[in-house]
Amino acid sequence: MVEHLAARVTSALILYSTNVVLSIVTPEAGGTWSRYGRDGFARDPPDSAYASAVNVTTHGIRIRPGSLADAPAILDMLDSAVAWMNGRGNTEQWGTTPYSQKPGGVARVERYTTENAPYIAELDGKPVGALVLDSGPSPQMPIAPVEEPERYVRLLVSDRRYAGLGIGAALLAHAAEETRRAGVELLRVDCWAGGGGELVAFYERNGFNPTDRFLSGDWPGQALARRVG
């Protein structure tokens, strides 16, 4: 899953929703820029060297490659997500302990930012969302492998103070674009399947189709896939 907190944050450590190094697009690497609208389609690129590494979405949200320096901001978003879910009565998805205080939580996020492909969504220079891509699901999760190259969303989280700006959708559109750029056709994710299926519905609205249901202990999960080729 996108990591269940500790184990529970493993399902795409996803507020919505494991370890080969993936390429990160930088100006030096000749990356390309695109602007995403609400429909997720790329728009015309501007003449800017900086733009080759940064995607600019609706509401002025910029998506850039992340690094170890972003780990504290990601941990803050994860801690806030736990508090937000608990405040809504949801203690099953990620438990009640702040992610930064869970055994291995800090080290896991640091690995995400150094061993995988992290991306940060910013608004006015402030991190408001994070995405981590990998080449497959966490080996700790009971998710069937596929017999083709894939990209897998291991982490998707946004700052709830900026809810309604489409941060999660913009990051998923970016994940699809990075998958295409790598010459890969399959993008997968997994998420918590409880709570009436709201999280599964979120991914369906963003182009993913449910595939396999699974249980990690008593934690219900749903794997989803999207063809981007």
Angle subtended by helix axes 105-115 and 71-87, to nearest 10: 130
Q: Return the sign of the alpha-carbon dihedral for residues 134, 135, 138, 144.
A: positive
> In the beta sheet, which residues pair with residue 155?
132
**Residue-level pLDDT at 58:** 59
141: Cβ–Cβ under 8 A, 6 or more apart, which residues? 1, 4, 10, 11, 18, 190, 214, 216, 221
Angstrom CA distances, 199 to 46, 163, 223, stand at 34, 15, 11
Q: What is the pTM of this model?
A: 0.78
Other Cβ atoms less than 10 A from the Cβ of 18: the count is 27
**Residue-level pLDDT at 56:** 64
**Residue-level pLDDT at 132:** 98
Strand ranges inside the chain, DSSP E:
3-5, 8-10, 35-36, 55-57, 62-65, 117-123, 126-134, 150-158, 186-192, 209-216, 219-227
**Residue-level pLDDT at 29:** 30
**Residue-level pLDDT at 59:** 74
Residue type, 29: A
DSSP assignment of 106-127: HHHHHHHHHHSEEEEEEETTEE
CA pair distance 100, 197, nearest whole angstrom: 26
**Residue-level pLDDT at 229:** 78
pLDDT digits (tens, 9 = 90+) for 168-177: 999 999 999 9
Q: Domains of the chain, with CATH numbers?
A: 3-227 (3.40.630.30)
**Residue-level pLDDT at 39:** 32
Report the chain (229 residues): mean pLDDT per 10 consecutive residues: 41 39 27 32 32 61 98 97 94 95 97 98 97 96 95 96 95 98 98 95 98 95 95
CA pair distance 186, 194, nearest whole angstrom: 25
Instruction: Label the pairing between strands 150-158 and 8-10.
Output: unpaired
Closest CA to 188 of 214, 157, 152, 135: 152
